[in-house]
Amino acid sequence: MFLNVSLTSNNLGNLINSTFPRLGMTKSISCADVGSDCGWSATADTEEDLLSKVAEHAKEKHQGLEVTPELVAKIKSHIKEI
């Protein structure tokens, strides 16, 4: 027996994302997102990988930046899913 299911692009996307959470859920952030006058941006499959890229960039390009719990929270709050 077959189910006749009408899939729209929206509910197909929801089905894929709920079945395969990493598909279509790339994380993204840029320095501009958090108010910096810097053109850098990055994407990653996970928040952990993205935060590693952020830390590497900050160490290389923003040497005097003090990493506080508030800054980390601000960065995390600006991470987008694309």
Residues 8, 14, 19, 22, Cα dihedral to 10°: 120
Give the 3-state DSSP-derived string for the chain, with helices as H, strands as E and coil as C: CCCCCCCCHHHHHHHHHHHCCCCCCCEEEECHHHCCCCCCEEEECCHHHHHHHHHHHHHHHCCCCCCCHHHHHHHHHCCEEC
- The reply to whether the predicted model has a pTM over 0.85 is no
Report pLDDT for 54: 97
Report pLDDT for 23: 54
Taking only the tens place, the pLDDT of each residue in 21-65 is 555 589 999 999 999 999 999 999 999 999 999 999 999 999 999
Domain boundary assignment for the chain: 26-81
Using pLDDT thresholds of 50, 70 and 90, give the confidence band for residue 19.
Answer: low
Report pLDDT for 25: 82
